[in-house]
Amino acid sequence: MAEQRLLSELCSICNSNAPKYRCPRDAVRTCSMACHRRHKQWAQCSGERDPAAYVKKSELATPAGIDRDFNFLTGIERAIERREREAEEREESLRGGRQVRAGFAPVPGSKYWRRLKDAGVVVDRAPKGMSRQRQNRTRYLNRSQCICWTIEWVHPDQSKTIDEIKDTTPLSDEYDALVKRMEKKRKREDEAVKKESTVVSPTPETSKQVKADSSQKELDKTLDQNSKAQSTFIPATRSTSETELQNVANLDGQSNPDGNIQTDTANDAQPSADFGAQTMSAEIKTESIGSTQQYHFYLVKPHTATAKHVLIPLPRQGTLDKCLRHQVVLEFPTIQVLRESPDRIPEAFMLEAEYVGKEKEDETEFKQLVSGVAVPSTDEVPDDGKVDDRKIIEVLQQDLSNSASQ
């Protein structure tokens, strides 16, 4: 007679064969891949190891524990590489097959590198993976023989826009083009919102027309009912219904001699307070980004020891190949756009000349403070700078003996 096995010693799915596999997720034992797939389907199991699952301390420093940690780390690395590869493929497809790497550093000796070196531009690279490093698409254009800079525009309302401009194009022309693109985009968004509001919510004129139609239907229905009633009750019923309907009509409009209800259109010609506020805000928004002739451009200086933004004035018709000479930028330039001229900028900003003057004052004050501090004497230190080990041991022994006697 064949020996019967316990159910715990058999496959947990078919209960007929000895188990060969163990699920990494919940340790369910199965005999084949078919049973394993059936287990994942029945238990809604992903079949992947849970990195947050509790592991005993005694199981950490074991070959299985080391393999588990190693597989977890390599899995993260593979996932990151896969996501980066997919992002590069998407970017390449969007740019028509021309791939632009993020945070591309110029190769020493290349045209890009020589152009930056000749202009004295120092580009500080942000750590890999930071948002500013990922946004950087600065590159050298061989056809135009110029650098296409990624640039961060900071508008007067402190909103930011990432754009790409050539270093041979005036700043005012590039900002004018950017403003026009933003206005077109805003108009398209406003038109889309208007279409949605027209479909979803009725206008005030439509609501009043619906009320007038409903009042007219109630009047006709009441008149039909009164005409079928007895003649002795016609005057009283008719006068009462007309009075009630007249009161209803007075709420929504005025009644003419023919009995038709006319809505009051005098109020329709005047916009409501909400409409005026929306129009006003739209005008303010358009004005804040509108005409660029009154704007001034400033280069934001990085790595400053002050809470204020340090600005370097730039000419309106200046180009980046001249404006960035002997300047330091963090990955790519940041240009602040303000209505105020350099002689009356807001308090949240500071010009470079003022910042340099304050830095010199602080340095002078620091030197004066240091000069007043007494420097300890170094007579006991040998001239050769070496320390005698025997003297140190003698001093330590003397301290120990003094503490023991106390």
Degrees to nearest 5, angle at CA 134 with 133 and 140:
80
Asked if 207 and 352 touch (Cβ cutoff 8 Å), the reply is: no
H helical segments located in 19-110 = 33-43, 63-94
- Write the DSSP symbol of residue 272: P
Write down the pLDDT at residue 396: 76
Q: What is the pLDDT of residue 390?
A: 75
- Write down the pLDDT at residue 199: 52
Reduced to 3 states, what is the DSSP secondary structure of residue 352?
Answer: helix
> What does the DSSP assignment read for 109-148?
TSHHHHHHHHHT-EEEPPPTTSHHHHH---EEETTTTEEE
Query: For residues 51 and 123, what is the distance between their CA atoms, to the nearest angstrom?
Result: 40
CATH 3.30.420 for domain 113-171+295-350: no
C-beta separation of 197 from 208 below 8 A: no
Below-70 pLDDT ranges, the chain:
1-3, 88-104, 198-293, 373-387, 400-406
- Cα dist from 133 to 99, 129, 148, whole Å: 16, 6, 16
pLDDT number for residue 58: 86
So what's the pLDDT on residue 212? 58
What's the token pair of residue 70? 């190693």
Is the CA virtual torsion 153, 154, 156, 158 positive or negative?
A: positive
Structure tokens at 329: 């930028």
The burial class, CB within 10 Å (0-12 / 13-18 / 19+), for 115 is middle
Q: Rounded to an integer, what distance in angstroms lies between the CA atom of residue 30 and that of residue 404?
A: 73
Q: What is the pTM of this model?
A: 0.48
Give per-residue pLDDT as tens, 6-37: 777 889 889 888 898 888 888 899 999 999 98
Predicted local confidence at residue 274, as pLDDT: 37
- For residue 297, the model assigns a pLDDT of 94
